[in-house]
């Protein structure tokens, strides 16, 4: 007799517990899975339409800060998804987008034929040049060792270059105090903010209140 494991788990744990279990497993795969497993997961999610909302980000709270620092300059977008940022912001000089999903990159390239794109895990991607802006738009959550990634990419920033990060689901007090002990999803979000504060000089940050509080941070690495 064959069993549908999702049905078995739902009967044992309940639907709410099953959903939490799925999120936990997904988070572990996204951060610690092999490149092949991560790519399979992200390809399936982009193909299913789970991330269709990323295809139109007009008016994103990120854009004014990004345009301020990238006017006439080179952007490296790590975790670019289906390419909305390249299509919707104005004034940049050049743009390179990186994502682990071939499905996302195919959409991004079709939408932005004059931009450069690469299929790669952002933890192992090796840029071929320096950039003025390196962008992490909701992508640092999925990195296993956030400080190491910031340190490695600082070598690919030009002397006056900056990191810009969009971080969803923050607590405002994280930007004025330190030493919080967060749990669950809050812990991962705080890890992003904390790593930026430890590895960089925060040049500016803005908070935007939606269903979650979103932070947009511009920061210069302490060491390059």
Q: Return per-residue pLDDT of the chain as tens, 224 residues.
A: 444 544 544 554 455 666 666 766 776 777 778 889 999 999 999 999 999 999 999 999 999 999 999 999 999 999 999 999 999 999 999 999 999 999 999 999 999 999 999 999 999 999 999 999 999 999 999 999 999 999 999 999 999 999 999 999 999 999 998 888 898 889 999 999 999 999 999 999 999 998 889 999 999 999 76
- Contact between 43 and 99 under an 8 Å Cβ cutoff? The reply is no
- Contact between 39 and 62 under an 8 Å Cβ cutoff? The reply is no
CA distance 1 to 38: 31
Residue 95 sits at φ, ψ, to 5 deg, of -145, 130
The confidence score (pLDDT) of residue 13 equals: 47
170 exposed, middle or buried (CB, 10 Å; 0-12, 13-18, 19+)?
buried
Per-residue b or e along 115-147, where b marks 16 or more CB atoms closer than 10 Å to that residue's CB: bebbebbbbebebeeebbbbbbbbbbbbbeebe
Contacts by residues 57-64 (CB-CB < 8 Å, ≥ 24 positions apart): 57/84, 57/85, 57/88, 58/88, 60/85, 60/88, 60/166, 61/166, 61/206, 61/208, 61/214, 61/216, 62/137, 62/164, 62/166, 62/216, 63/88, 63/89
The confidence score (pLDDT) of residue 14 equals: 54
The confidence score (pLDDT) of residue 224 equals: 64
Name the CATH architecture for the domain at 53-221: 3-Layer(aba) Sandwich (3.40)
**pTM confidence score:** 0.88
The confidence score (pLDDT) of residue 87 equals: 98
Residue 182 sits at φ, ψ, to 5 deg, of -100, 165
| Sign, CA torsion 32/199/63/168 | positive
The confidence score (pLDDT) of residue 29 equals: 72
The dihedral region occupied by 112, where left means phi > 0, alpha psi between -120 and 50, and beta the remainder, is beta
């Amino acid at each position: 007799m064959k069993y549908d494991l999702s049905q078995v788990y739902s009967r044992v744990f309940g639907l709410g517990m099953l959903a939490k279990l799925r999120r936990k497993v997904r988070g572990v795969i996204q951060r610690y899975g092999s490149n092949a497993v991560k790519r399979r997961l992200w390809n399936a999610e982009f193909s299913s339409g789970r991330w269709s909302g990323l295809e139109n980000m007009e008016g994103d709270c990120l854009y004014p800060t990004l345009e301020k620092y990238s006017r006439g300059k080179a952007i490296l977008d790590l975790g670019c998804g289906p390419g909305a940022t390249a299509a919707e912001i104005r004034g940049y000089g050049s743009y390179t987008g990186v994502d682990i999903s071939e499905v996302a990159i195919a959409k991004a390239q079709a939408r932005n034929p004059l931009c450069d794109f690469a299929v790669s895990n952002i933890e192992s991607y090796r840029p071929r040049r320096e950039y003025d802006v390196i962008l992490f738009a909701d992508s640092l959550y999925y990195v296993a060792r956030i400080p190491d990634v910031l340190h490695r990419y600082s070598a690919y920033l030009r002397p006056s270059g900056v990191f810009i990060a969009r971080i969803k689901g923050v607590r405002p007090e994280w930007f004025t105090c330190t030493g919080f002990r967060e749990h669950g999803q809050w812990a991962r979000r705080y890890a992003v903010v904390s790593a930026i504060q430890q590895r960089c000089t925060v040049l500016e940050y803005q908070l935007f209140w939606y269903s979650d509080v979103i932070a947009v941070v511009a920061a210069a690495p302490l060491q390059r």
